[in-house]
Structure 1
Amino acid sequence: MGSSVPFLVYSWVLLPLLAAGKASVIFPVSFSEPPPCVFPFVFGGRSFSSCTSDGAGDGQLWCATTPNYDTDRQWKQCALQEHGGNSEGRPCVFPFTYWGDTYYTCTSKNSRKGRFWCATTGSYDKDRKWSYCADTRLNENPTGPCVFPFTYNGKSQSTCIADGMTSGKLWCSLSSNYDMNSKWTYCEPSEPRPCQFPFIYRNRSYSSCITKGTSDGHLWCATTSDYDKDSKWKMCVPHEYGGNSEGKECHFPFTYKKQTFFDCTDQDEPSGRFWCATTKDYDEDKRWSFCADINRNPGTAEQGNNTASQELCSFPFTYKGKTYSSCTTEGEFSGKLWCSLTSNYIGRWKYCQPSDLPGQNSYKS
């Protein structure tokens, strides 16, 4: 999640990035390389939005490099995997940050010939590693960074959402106001993994989602124990998503394999992500969603948010729809008292100290 300025390279010649007022650079471009695919393109009077094997006697995928193959006869064979760059063709990693923006797609930004590229770690800003994208990743849909916050149905959104998707999949807007400019992309990470708590970021330990290091204020977490080393991360999702319930809210408690669960679980989930049933009996109904990252119980972390132990509890605070005016043991399997550090629990909490304890009278709204 670094914030340093990346470099661009055109034919290995350093050129000032005049538009941004920055002298930077690093994308090697060989002038013998073919131009990028153009989507959509016309072939045989039909429109194609991705690589096709139509008309190819050998069945190879190809694309036009102008909008109309019928008139221009310009084409190239589609690359089936990442290639080139300074990562020697390592696969793309999504999401990745570039100039502080978050990308879930390949981009042609600052690539002189418009060729699409991607970072091969979670942060180009930090690691400067990239490859050219496989042409089969591309299509006619708009590409670019997610824009946070963005407006959807009149409401401001600061992270990927599932609203409006019948599939329950997460998406983000590529414009600041989706209601007026409906460009979007799915938020599909290349390595679906759960948040790893606690994790290290800039030599500090965090036990909940954070906004530190972001320019747009979205919550994120590392997906390994050490972001500084691995550059692996994901956006924290504030609500249930995916599954076969299309992101329907969790139902607690629920029964799974004749066991009763009062919280989300990663049991039998190959990716290790946490999930919940959306009816009281998964064994009978088989309906489920992935859990919101910010609703992971305090007890699911190995330790409290010790980095924030000097911060004051926020009373009253709301946790899972209930309001508390003092420390509570709700959701904490150890039975220890804890409190939220925000008025609406978003993953920032601490174990209560003696000074937090007077007037212990929790109540439900």
Structure 2
Amino acid sequence: MKPLERILSDARATPRHIILPEGGDPRVAGAALRLTQEGLARITLMDGPDLPGVRGLRAADAPDLAELAGHWHRLRAPKGMTAARALEEMRDPIRQAAMRVRLGQADGTVGGAVATTAETVRAALQVIGRAPDAGIVSSFFLMLSCAKEAPVRGGMIFADCGLVVAPDADELAAIALSAAGSCRQVLAETPRIALLSFSTAGSAEHPSLIRLHEALALIRAADPDLEVDGEIQFDAALDGAIRARKAPGSRLTGRPNVFIFPDLAAGNIGYKIAQRLGGLTAIGPILQGLDKPANDLSRGCTTEDIIYAAAITAVQAGKHQQQHSPDPAKTQAAHNRTM
């Protein structure tokens, strides 16, 4: 099964509740209707038209607006938030959608068709927050190569291509570890990670490579079983024969499915070259490292892009719930001890 087909199948198996806060945009409204009709998610559409099967909600007139604002006020009071300002800010659909996800009223949210990335990510960071085990919130693009004539077919994770501009060694390691988790969640594959550079296995010397070496050490210390190598050039990572010549001691046992770029410039340029010249489908940026799923869109996105992003958000939500659900055996054992 192709990666995208599997993602859609996983989303359809247990439809999650996803909020689309920009319902006034026809692309978003169209995606809401198709997501509902195709059984991919249960949708709340904020500030949009009335659609069959889609729950509508006006952000500024929400019946529980005061309650949501109260949560926002308590959360941000240490930073000077007033009750009046909290009420006003919670009328913003992007921020209100994130609050509903934080409170468990929805499983995830997808925005950014109208709002900027800065607005969407800021709301996710401030309201939902970073996951306790994540060193940093970052992003990835799901790159899909499915054409019959493509030299490589399948799905790949490219990170970070949309958020962290100049990661240091700690941040680069955190991005790679989050991307490994995203690979397991979204592609359902064991991650094989390449830390990309202009050098392979010491073929060049430059102070910028020290950061990659430090990041590699941090990744291996955090997860010794993770298959990861770097610094490595893209051709050596992708092609096993080239890798055998350039990096005969590489720990990579096959083609990587996770590519970590050294900075945002390289990542953003790289994914767009793959998309525009290589013909790969790029879905994202998908956020990783948040406590609950909230994802961004390009303002140039299509209805299909929104559908795919929502489906990935639904899959992330399902994996998140599995990871945080109590173990039935442990729950029963604890119950027995109290009897």
Give the alignment's TM-score, normalised by structure 2.
0.23
Higher RCO (CA < 8 A, seq sep 6+): 2
Flag the structure with larger Rg: 1
Larger strand share, 1 or 2:
1
Give the alignment's TM-score, normalised by structure 1.
0.22
